[in-house]
Amino acid sequence: MCLLTTIGRKSGAPRTAPLLYLRKGDAFVLVASQGGLPRNPAWFPNLTANPAVSIQVGKNTTHELVARTASDSERAELWSELVELYADFDTYAAWTDRQIPVVCEPR
């Protein structure tokens, strides 16, 4: 688990969400699954409006990052690893008509 902090696109206030993540080299990979609901989670439009984010792992380790949405080819490569991390990502994908975004956050 990590704590993703984005800046609210309307409020300008910090918003923090606990998320599963996959570490891929220097990148953190997050999934905007929202449990398979029809809309992306609130943190995703915040992240796309302002890609400067921070991720806290553990009590004292924080990474300041610039987020981006994975390309279709990157997403295809990452999806099996994400499902291995948490099998319900496939279930969530089956529950929704939207393509669940995968976000890569390079250092």
Cα 55 versus chain centre, distance: 10
pLDDT score for 46: 96
Q: What is the pLDDT of residues 93-104, one digit of tens each?
A: 999 999 999 998
Torsion of CA 44, 8, 65, 28, to 10 degrees: -30
**Cβ atoms of 63 and 71 closer than 8 Å:** no
Q: What is the pLDDT of residues 48-66, one digit of tens each?
A: 999 999 999 999 999 999 9
Distance CA 107, CA 99 (A): 25
Domains, the chain, with CATH or none: 2-105 (2.30.110.10)
**Cβ atoms of 64 and 56 closer than 8 Å:** no
